[in-house]
Homo-oligomer: A and B are copies of this chain.
Amino acid sequence: MIYLTRRERFSAAHRMYRVEWSDEKNSEVFGKCSNPNWHGHNYILFITVKGEPSGENGFVMNINVLKQIIKEKIIDKVDHKNLNMDVDFMKGKICTTETLAVSIWNELKSEIEKEGAILHCVKIEETENNSIEYYG
């Protein structure tokens, strides 16, 4: 079993809040991440897939195919966007990095399996100090 990781980046605005809470309550729970006028990040996304390398070409998965899947399913939808307002797979969710990682996992899992590999990990670095990993 070999693990292949692709790193991609996207820049997006977001706000952490519950719609049914007041600004005060949101600020109490989410702090400055709950600014009503939004803030944003350069998110760094690491997608790890695993599998046996092909006897024919030595690849776990063709990395150009992996790039294309991540681009179409994730980056094109989130880059230079508002994660709360513009992204179909985040609609109605609290926009934490935890939730974003799980949502990205759900978007990618079957697409990667179609290519004969297994999705192993979605890692998101929100800042250089904070990151989230999800293994399904």
**A contact residues vs B (CB 8 Å cutoff):** 1-9, 11-14, 16, 18, 29-33, 35, 37-42, 48, 53, 56-60, 63-64, 79-82, 85-86, 93-96, 98-99, 101-102, 127-135
Chain A interface secondary structure, helix, strand, loop or mixed?
A: mixed
A/B interface sample: 6 pairs, CB < 8 A: A1-B135, A4-B132, A6-B130, A35-B80, A35-B81, A37-B85
Nearest 5 pairs of A and B residues by beta carbon: A40-B40, A37-B82, A58-B96, A32-B80, A58-B94
- With A13-B13, A35-B82 as contacts: A2 and B132 at CB distance below 8 Å: yes
- Copies of this chain, whole number: 6
A2 touches B128 (CB 8 A): no
